Amino acid sequence: AKRDTGTSYRFYNRQLHISAGHQLQLEADLRNALRAGELELYYQPRVDLITGEVRGVESLIRWNHPTRGLVMPDDFIPAAERSGLIVPIGYWVIEQACERLRQAADAGFPGLVVAVNLSFRQFHDRKMTETIFRIIFNANVDTSLLELELTESAMMHDPDYAQRCLRELSQLGISFALDDFGTGYSSLTNLQHLPISLVKIDKSFVQALGESGDSEHIIRAIISLAHSLQMSVVAEGVETEGQLDFLRDQHCDEVQGYYYARPMPWDDLVTFLHDRNRL
């Protein structure tokens, strides 16, 4: 048994070594990707359950890798967070959102909300508010159409600083959505003093509908509590008509998911909007 341990230790070490090397290579490639314009945003519509129109879109990043093809965020966002590269990438994503807000208005959809994801790591940047302010000031867009999505845990590292950022940014007109709601530890009541106008129910609850009675109760509770706190509710990961019907019955405000559309390039989104939102 002792000899086996020795062998597996050496093997383990080699694995660690390889993965550290991989990590460094990935970070170098990613740094280059940002410069070379290999990062790209896809857009997934959020459909209003009363009007059937697209009220907003979520920006979702992809990496158009020269040899590996389209790389999904779960395969590179963690490395971007570890290395801190998510900070410049995050600002680039907000710049893109401002650009898309202008294009949406030009295409005849002036009220479309464009949402972007904020990483916990971006709250380590002491110049966050200042930098975002500079971006939206230069872009000269209607800031009430820009929405930032963050998770409860994103604010945990330094809650006072995070709260100050949220307050300052909301004074500029920017709105906030609580992402992946239901998976964290805090309750909505803890968050009611924050400028959060929308709650996104995590897709794990939506996808468990019909399998467990628990998810029905949880979704119902989230919707009624959010509404009593004047927050809107978006359900993520809606794939079936059954899920949609349940959410409509519960007065969920908007849904996002493959049932309506997958994330898509901007030009496809404009076509989708023309079909869906009557002008």
Residues that bind ligand C2E (CB under 6 A): 44, 59-61, 72-74, 77, 86, 90, 93, 116-117, 119, 179-180, 203, 236-239, 256-258, 263
DSSP 174: -
254 near Ca ion, rule: CB under 5 A: no
Phi, psi of 185 (to 5 degrees): -105, -25
Amino acid sitting at position 161: Y
Look at the block and give the residue holding tokens 């090397």.
Answer: 21
Touching Ca ion, residues 103-132 (CB under 5 A): 117
Q: By rule CB under 5 A, what count of residues binds Ca ion?
A: 4
The answer to whether 135 and 169 have CB atoms below 8 angstroms apart is no
Phi, psi of 117 (to 5 degrees): -90, 135
Minimum separation from the CB atom of position 93 to ligand C2E (A): 4
Which lies closer to ligand C2E via its Cβ, residue 194 or residue 238?
A: 238
Look at the block and give the residue holding tokens 């908007």.
Answer: 254
DSSP 257: S
Minimum separation from the CB atom of position 148 to Ca ion (A): 10
Q: Which two tokens stand for residue 154?
A: 């994103």
What is the x/- site pattern for Ca ion, positions 146-175, by CB under 5 A?
Answer: ---x--------------------------
Which of 125, 152, 179, 254 forms a contact with Ca ion (CB under 5 A)?
179
Q: Which stretch binds Ca ion (CB under 5 A): 127-135, 177-185, 211-219, 223-231?
A: 177-185
What's the Cα-to-Cα distance from 260 to each of 9, 53, 241, rounded to whole Å? 50, 11, 10
Q: Which stretch binds Ca ion (CB under 5 A): 43-51, 97-105, 180-188, 267-275?
A: 180-188
61 binds, among ligand C2E, Ca ion, none (CB under 5 to 8 A by kind): ligand C2E
Which lies closer to Ca ion via its Cβ, residue 180 or residue 268?
A: 180
Q: Which residues contact 81 (CB under 8 A, 6 or more apart)?
A: 119, 120, 121
